[in-house]
């Protein structure tokens, strides 16, 4: 389905979603949240798609933040409702059963960084600038940035970025663990595609369970997470993919996973 603010294509088993508001530096508005929700629900339901990449159109911005013209008109109740909508959409993306890679090109500020934070990992171009500058507008991050950023870079570094409001460059983002890699602008999408294509060759049920184990484990304690790992580990022994993977290893051939 064609969408106003998103471009979509499939490259083999990899879905590529591009935020497309070039006149607004890909700023996020309410309408885009609904499009993102529906797009990633479709991706999750597509058996032929085994990994996804999210990026922004053009070279200037992944997403330069929220649409301030829209935010400025909100009442307190409407602001809370928009925060709830954004958090719900991003949580759905974070719980996607397929790896979601943020290809961060240029600016990822405010809601744009929060969108990258809900992805499973982030690859940045060398011109990326990332930050949560909401305090400069007299507000705070509203799409779970105050929660996801500390879990990724630690509370001290996160509070410096959130309370200070200043963006950091790609190399600093790499040093503090905000991104997994930094590459040139020309290599950003090829690098993300190579990672996604490699993951797409693995057992899709195992990948889904691995994502669930890590994410739900981080939500609880070590003991609870370890018990979940036991349960998921055992469940995999009921799948055709497990038998195919072990059989292929013993027969010294590449496995052909079917997601069953």
Q: Any idea which residues carry the catalytic annotation?
A: 114, 134
- Supply 46's token pair: 């597509």
Report the relative pairing of strands 107-109 and 121-125 from DSSP bridges. unpaired
Going by C-alpha positions, the residue among 84, 193, 212, 134 that lies closest to residue 149 is: 134
DSSP E strands, the chain: 6-11, 14-19, 51-56, 61-63, 100-104, 107-109, 121-125, 129-131, 168-169, 181-183
DSSP state string for 52-75: EEEEESSSSEEE--B-HHHHTT--
Measure the CA angle with vertex 135, ends 114 and 70; round to 5°.
65
Count Cα atoms within 13 angstroms, Cβ side, for 238: 5
Report the relative pairing of strands 107-109 and 129-131 from DSSP bridges. parallel
CA-derived radius of gyration, the chain: 19
Question: What's the farthest any 2 CA atoms get from each other in the chain?
Answer: 64
Report the relative pairing of strands 61-63 and 100-104 from DSSP bridges. unpaired
């Amino acid at each position: 389905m064609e969408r106003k603010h998103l471009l979509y294509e499939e490259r083999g088993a990899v879905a590529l979603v591009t935020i497309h508001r070039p006149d607004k530096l890909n700023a996020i508005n309410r309408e885009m949240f609904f499009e993102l929700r529906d797009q990633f629900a479709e991706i999750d339901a597509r058996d032929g798609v085994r990994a996804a990449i999210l990026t922004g159109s053009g070279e200037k911005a992944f997403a330069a933040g929220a649409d301030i013209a829209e935010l400025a008109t909100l009442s307190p109740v409407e602001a809370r409702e928009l925060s709830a909508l954004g958090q719900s959409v991003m949580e759905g993306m974070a719980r996607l059963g397929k790896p979601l890679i943020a290809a961060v090109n240029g600016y990822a500020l405010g809601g744009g960084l929060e969108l990258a934070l809900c992805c499973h990992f982030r690859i940045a171009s060398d011109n990326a600038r990332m930050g949560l500058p909401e305090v400069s507008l007299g507000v705070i991050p509203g799409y779970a940035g105050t929660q996801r950023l500390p879990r990724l870079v630690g509370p001290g570094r996160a509070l410096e970025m959130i309370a200070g409001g200043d963006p950091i460059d790609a190399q600093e983002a790499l040093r503090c663990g905000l991104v997994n890699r930094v590459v040139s602008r020309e290599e950003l999408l090829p690098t993300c595609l190579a990672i996604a294509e490699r993951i797409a060759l693995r057992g899709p049920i195992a990948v889904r369970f691995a994502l669930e184990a890590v994410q739900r484990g981080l939500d609880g304690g070590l003991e609870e997470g370890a018990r979940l790992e036991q349960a998921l580990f055992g469940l995999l022994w009921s799948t055709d993919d497990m038998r195919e993977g072990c059989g292929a290893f013993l027969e010294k051939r590449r496995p052909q996973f079917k997601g069953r």
